[in-house]
């Protein structure tokens, strides 16, 4: 393995007045264009000997940190609408499946799925993510025909409401059919690697694409997942998938990355990824975090019942927001929106009246 160097922004200041003052004083750099800033970086050197780290002030780093500091460009959605990142966006989840880990079967009926999507939009969702194939651990493969019969009626109905929609699929044919039906974003848990036609299809469609990391197939991904270094391995994987997408003709400005919490990871892997999440800003793309109701929350908090995972889900969302995640994929939109609103109010009022 050749030597590689990574830079993770740390000592993040998420109080906008303080962050802005530190940037003006050249004591900090804006994180992804602000309003948060970071005053130090963890410099990680990776070689055959493993990982070596040191911490350096941003004033003492002589490398280009533009991927960490540059504002994320707006995504151009089909139809000409832009999706901007001036605040964390909430992606609400609609699983039109009988077997999803969190709400399997609740919204398999199109009318109920549409009603749920409408409810999430009313609660403040910025994006609605619609999927017709469960990718929970151990899930079986669904035919493309069955997948489309589940999602297309929901997409067509919700498209009329104007909120951006994403299609959660690994299948190129479903990507094309969903965009034709009104979807705006492709969300592929395989990072356009499952279907040989998906790279060319994504390039032709021109829609933004979420590239997510998953270890192997959902049927087998939780069978002893192993990494040399979970964060750096996934960083390198996503870097390679970005390069593959760009080479296929997908504009880099249309790519979003997702480290894939829970997809072929142990509890320890997930906690490490949450702790080191800011490293992924080094890829220069908008960052999506999908930790809502995942099983690691249950194992850490002793919340076996799905209904008891809300506190952990909110904690994970706030942890992602503090590290600059641009999109939070959540089941509980209203609760997450309230948590973020309070966090923003606290951060904005950092001095006594």
| Structure token pair of residue 208 | 């933004």
Residue 162 has pLDDT above 50, yes or no: yes
Residue 45 has pLDDT above 50, yes or no: yes
Give the model confidence (pLDDT) of 305-346 as tens digits. 888 999 999 999 999 999 999 999 999 999 999 999 999 999
Tokens 């996934």, residue located: 234
Pair 32, 68: CB distance under 8 Å: yes
Q: Which residue has the higher pLDDT, 353 or 206?
A: 206
Alpha helix segments (H runs only) across 75-197: 110-123, 144-159, 172-181
Give the model confidence (pLDDT) of 90-132 as tens digits. 999 999 987 555 555 555 688 999 999 999 999 999 999 999 9
Mean pLDDT along residues 56-82: 94
Which residues are designated catalytic?
294, 329
Rounded CA-CA distance 268/147 in Å is 33
Residue 178 has pLDDT above 70, yes or no: yes
Give the model confidence (pLDDT) of 193-228 as tens digits. 999 999 999 999 999 999 999 987 777 777 888 999
CB-based contacts of 206: which residues, under 8 Å, 6+ apart?
A: 76, 78, 254
Instruction: Tell me how far apart the 2 most distant CA atoms of the chain are, in Å.
Output: 60
Domains, the chain, ordered by start = 4-69 (no CATH), 75-348 (3.20.20.20)
Mean pLDDT of the chain: 93
- Comparing CA positions, the residue from 161, 199, 213 lying closest to residue 183 is 161
Mean pLDDT along residues 155-178: 97
Q: What is the share, in percent, of the chain residues with pLDDT greater than 70?
A: 95
Tokens 């050749």, residue located: 2
In the DSSP assignment, the letter for residue 190 is: T
- Helical pair 267-275 and 230-248, crossing angle rounded to 10 deg: 70
Q: What is the share, in percent, of the chain residues with pLDDT greater than 90?
A: 83
Mean pLDDT along residues 232-246: 98
- Comparing CA positions, the residue from 344, 282, 255 lying closest to residue 31 is 282
Residue 23 has pLDDT above 80, yes or no: yes
Residue 353 has pLDDT above 50, yes or no: no
Considering the entire predicted model, what is its pTM? 0.94
Report pLDDT for 108.
Answer: 65
Give the model confidence (pLDDT) of 275-307 as tens digits. 999 999 999 999 999 999 999 999 999 988 888
């Amino acid at each position: 393995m050749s030597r590689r160097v990574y830079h993770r922004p740390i000592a993040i200041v998420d109080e906008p007045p303080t962050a802005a003052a530190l940037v003006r004083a050249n004591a900090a750099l804006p994180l992804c264009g602000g309003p948060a800033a970071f005053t130090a970086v963890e410099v990680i050197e990776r070689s055959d000997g493993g990982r070596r780290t040191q911490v350096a002030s941003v004033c003492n780093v002589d490398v280009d940190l533009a991927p960490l500091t540059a504002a994320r460009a707006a995504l151009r959605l089909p139809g000409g609408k832009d999706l901007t990142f001036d605040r964390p966006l909430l992606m609400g989840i609609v699983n039109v499946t009988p077997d999803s880990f969190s709400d399997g079967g609740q919204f398999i009926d199109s009318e109920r799925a549409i009603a749920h999507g409408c409810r999430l939009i009313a609660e403040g969702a910025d994006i609605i993510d619609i999927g017709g194939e469960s990718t929970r651990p151990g899930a079986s493969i669904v035919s493309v025909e069955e997948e489309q019969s589940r999602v297309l009626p929901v997409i067509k109905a919700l498209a009329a409401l104007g909120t951006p929609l994403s299609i959660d699929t690994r299948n190129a044919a479903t990507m094309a059919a969903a965009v034709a039906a009104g979807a705006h974003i492709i969300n592929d848990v395989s990072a356009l690697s499952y279907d040989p036609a998906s790279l060319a299809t994504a390039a032709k469609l021109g829609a933004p694409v979420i590239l997510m990391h998953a270890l192997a197939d959902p049927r087998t991904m939780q069978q002893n997942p192993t990494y040399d270094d979970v964060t750096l391995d996934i960083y390198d994987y996503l870097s390679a998938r970005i390069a593959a997408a760009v080479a296929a003709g997908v504009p880099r400005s249309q790519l979003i990355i997702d480290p894939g919490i829970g997809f072929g990871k142990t509890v320890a892997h997930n906690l490490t990824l949450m702790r080191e999440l800011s490293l992924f800003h080094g890829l220069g793309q908008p960052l999506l975090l999908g930790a809502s109701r995942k099983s690691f929350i249950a194992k850490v908090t002793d919340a076996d019942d799905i209904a008891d995972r809300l506190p952990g889900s909110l904690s994970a969302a706030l942890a992602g927001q503090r590290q600059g995640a641009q999109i939070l994929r959540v089941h509980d939109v209203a609760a997450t929106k309230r948590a973020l609103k309070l966090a923003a109010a606290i951060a904005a009022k950092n001095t006594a009246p």
